[in-house]
Amino acid sequence: MKKNRITHSPIFISGPHGGGKSTLLNKLSGVSNLFLENNFDIDFTVDFPSLSSLSHFERSLIRLYHRFFIAHYANSLAKSCPDKFIITNRTIYDSEAYINVYRKLNWISKAEFETLDFVMKNFGDRPNAIILNPSLHTIKSRLRTRRDMATRTNRDKVFVGEDTDTFLSNLHNYFQRFKHTASVLYIKDNGNAEIKKIISWTKTL
C-alpha cells in the first residue's frame, strides 16, 4: 500500500525592491532539492507596457489580484509536486507594505486605500514567507548598482518615485513589522548563513 506523501505549503519571498530577493530565490533553487521555483509569473514592466499610464491605485489593484492568482497557482503546483517547497517571488505581505507606504505618502486617497485594504483582508490565510529586509544602506547600494548596470531600465523609469530615500525608508520600516509574524522567517541578508537558516526553518513548517 502506497504511503500518502506530504504536500508542503508554498513559500513566498517578500521584501523591498533591491533587497536581493531574486538572488535568494536562485540560490535556494540551486542549493537544495527541497525547493522548486514557481514556473510562472508576470513581469508587469515588461508584459504590461501601459503600466506607466496607470495610477498608483490601479497598479496596486492589478498586482493584488495577480497575487491572489499566484497564491492559488503555487498551491496547485505544491499538490502536483509533493515533497518539494514551491518558492515564489512576492505575495500579500508585499502588497500590504507598498500600499500602506503609498497611503502614508498620500500617493493614494483614503477611499482608494480602504478599497485595497478590504481586498487584502480577504486574501485568505497568510502564507509562509521569507521576508528579506536588508539595511537601508544595503538596499540603496544594490539599487545604485542595478541602475548603473542598466539591467531594469524600464522598471527604473516607471517606478522612479519608489527609489527615493523617503519611500525606501518608509518601506524598510514597514517590512520590519512582519518580524514576529508566525508564518514569516525574517532575514537581513541572502548569504550562506541565511540559506542554512531557511533550510532549518522549513523543517518546522
Q: How far apart are CA 149 and CA 43, in angstroms?
A: 19
pLDDT tens profile 110-130: 999 999 999 999 998 899 999
Q: Of all residues in the chain, what percent are helix, strand and coil, respectively (each to 5)?
A: 60, 10, 30
Q: Where are the domains of the chain?
A: 11-202
- What's the pLDDT score for residue 5? 62
Phi-psi region at 124: left, alpha or beta (left = phi > 0; alpha = psi -120 to 50): left
Give the confidence band of 1 by pLDDT, cuts at 50, 70, 90.
very low
pLDDT tens profile 176-187: 999 999 999 999
153: amino acid identity, one letter: T
198: amino acid identity, one letter: I
What is the value of pTM for the model shown? 0.93
Which of 124, 115, 64, 65 is closest to 94 using CA atoms?
Answer: 64
Q: How far apart are CA 71 and CA 88, in angstroms?
A: 9
As a CATH number, domain 11-202 is: 3.40.50.300
**List of residues 6+ apart from 150 with CB closer than 8 A:** none
| Mean pLDDT over each residue of the chain, to the nearest integer | 92
Cell numbers placing 50: 501601459
